[in-house]
Structure 1
Amino acid sequence: MGYSDKQIEEFSNKYRQIINEFDSLMLNTVASGQQQESAKVREYLLHGVSRRLSVIKKSIENIFNGFPLDAKRPLRRGDLYDVQINMHAYVINLYGIFDNWAWAFVYRHGLLENLGGKHRVGMFKKGMLTHFPNEISEYLKERELGKWHEDYLKSFRDALAHRIPLYIPPSMLTPEEGDRYQELDAQKMGLINVMDWERLNQVEHEQESLGNPCFYFLHSFEGEKPKPILMHPQLLSDGLAIAEFGDLFMKHWESVA
């Protein structure tokens, strides 16, 4: 099932808002990074945070362009792979940007030894929360970003890096369409064996045309029931969170508790 006209309008407006806010955050990050005396702080802001912001923004743009909100038919296999590639880039950089902010803060205030070494550095590590200025620590607690990070972001990042990468099912099928899909799938090996590439292409094309586009993404939860997530609204929610937190962080990160 696709999005309603009202949802498409709402998501489109939020999408434009996020792109504008990312541009503003990027300028703020670069300006602040260039003013830092510490080479390590500059590196984490200019080559860490700003680079990841660029990749996250471009990934969101590519996903929304490659998988339109008003899509009526399943994406062709190559187009679906392109969207998944951008989802992978999106998730790994969304996860990493919080570490970049954390390292910039640690080096800015000389906290590495106090924390107990590099393995204690992280935006959501308990030891670090005591060093953030009140505006940042309270925001992290009130918005439950730690729970979002652990239950959603870390789960998908860990699966992507170490287990089963997230994917978007090629389509949503009715029972009848599912049966036809399996019938076609059974034909493919025989066609490969006899090297009937023309008929194989026809079978794959028919498979790709079955059903409706699937707007969900998911990964293996190692025996648990899969938890599909609606792609476009999740990207918008994540993007707004990054823009809002990034703006707050850049306003207060040069203070320490």
Structure 2
Amino acid sequence: MASYFTAEQIDELKNAAEKVFAKAGELKEQYVRHTFRDPKAREHAVTGFARRIDSLAHCIEAVFGALPPDLEGIPERTALVEASVNIQAFVINAAGCCDNLAWTWALEIGATQPDGVPLLQRQIGLTSECQHLWRTIPEPLRRLLTERRPWFKHIKGFRDSLAHRIPLYIPPYTVSPDNIDEYNRLEKENWDALIAGDVALHESLLQQQEKLKRFLPFIVHSYDDNSPNAVFHAQLLADFHTVEELGQLFLAEFDALSGS
């Protein structure tokens, strides 16, 4: 059974994944070495964002190790569980990176409500809904954050479902709609053979069923028709690069604040 990806796509995914640790390490070091004026801002930047960006790299490595993009056939359950757990950790930390950047910015500039009262937790974020903090972000960065609104919606949707509703899940296999009737027929005959004690026929029917299965590298959180899903190898890399981009842009603004 061939891999879901083409040979060219497999090379692109593997090459991109191999560069993640170096990129994460460089960005982490830049945040650790930056001199923040506010101690709590530094905490969010270093023990928050920098630690999380490192975690994202480890999650990607674990997922690509458990379920490599050139995988052929149906993966073992242990590999599915390991990849699922690391994708869940990735989503939580990717969303957390955004929160840490927002908190770092708010604390470093001393952002407050118009009456001087400190911002509440719900007023700190990287979207325009957090209007008091949004007005303090330089216009070029606000434009980019506006362009990334679909991504913020994507990561928040996955994070909220994971934390409050249905955990992210990798289906162990799928069956083409063209083969569903045949698969169900074999399933019924399989049980009939098992009940009749015909082990040889039972095993033969199982083998025929296995040939109709195919693994697709998708992550979902519900089988509801309206629930989003994603090809997780590519999505993890895209999400990492978006977080890295945000980290670099905010770092430039932190440098500007400190005059470095």
Mapped to 1, the partners of 2:186 and 2:52 lie a distance apart of: 39
Counterpart position of 1:196: none
TM-score (norm 2): 0.80
Structure 1: 4+ residue segments shifted above 6 A = 184-187, 205-210
The one-letter amino acid paired with 1:28 is: Q
Structure 1 residue 53 displacement after superposition: 1.0
CA deviations 1:78-126 (Å, max 9, x no partner) are: 1100100001100000011100011011111111445742220111133
For the Cα contact (< 8 Å) 1:29–1:45, is it kept in 2?
yes
For the Cα contact (< 8 Å) 1:217–1:230, is it kept in 2?
yes
Alignment of 1:165 with 2:167, yes or no, is: yes
Count of residues in correspondence between the two structures: 238
Counterpart position of 1:15: 17
Structure index of larger Rg: 2
* Alpha-carbon spacing, 1:183–1:63, altered in 2? closer, same or farther (3 Å): farther
CA deviations 1:132-158 (Å, max 9, x no partner) are: 1233212212xx2122111x1111111
* Alpha-carbon spacing, 1:224–1:3, altered in 2? closer, same or farther (3 Å): closer
Unpaired runs of 5+ residues, structure 2, are 196-202
Counterpart position of 2:8: 6
Mapped to 2, the partners of 1:180 and 1:154 lie a distance apart of: 41
* Alpha-carbon spacing, 1:116–1:210, altered in 2? closer, same or farther (3 Å): same
CA deviations 1:205-247 (Å, max 9, x no partner) are: 97888622221111127x5434331111111111111112211
Report 1 or 2 for greater relative contact order, CA contacts < 8 Å, sequence distance ≥ 6.
1
Counterpart position of 2:219: 217
Mapped to 2, the partners of 1:7 and 1:251 lie a distance apart of: 33
CA deviations 1:163-195 (Å, max 9, x no partner) are: 0011111012242674278559969xx9xxxxx
Mapped to 2, the partners of 1:153 and 1:25 lie a distance apart of: 21
Q: How does 1:1-257 map to 2 (within 5 A)?
A: 2-32=4-34, 35-113=35-113, 114=116, 116-124=119-127, 125-141=130-146, 144-150=147-153, 152-174=154-176, 175=179, 178-179=183-184, 182-183=187-188, 211-220=213-222, 223-253=224-254, 255=256
For the Cα contact (< 8 Å) 1:66–1:83, is it kept in 2?
yes
For the Cα contact (< 8 Å) 2:112–2:132, is it kept in 1?
no
Partner SS state of residue 229, structure 1: strand
For the Cα contact (< 8 Å) 1:76–1:208, is it kept in 2?
no
* Alpha-carbon spacing, 1:105–1:8, altered in 2? closer, same or farther (3 Å): same
Partner SS state of residue 253, structure 1: helix
The one-letter amino acid paired with 2:160 is: D
Cα RMSD for the two superposed structures: 2.9
Counterpart position of 2:199: none
Structure 1 residue 20 displacement after superposition: 2.1
Mapped to 2, the partners of 1:18 and 1:243 lie a distance apart of: 10
The one-letter amino acid paired with 1:168 is: I
Structure 1 residue 130 displacement after superposition: 1.2
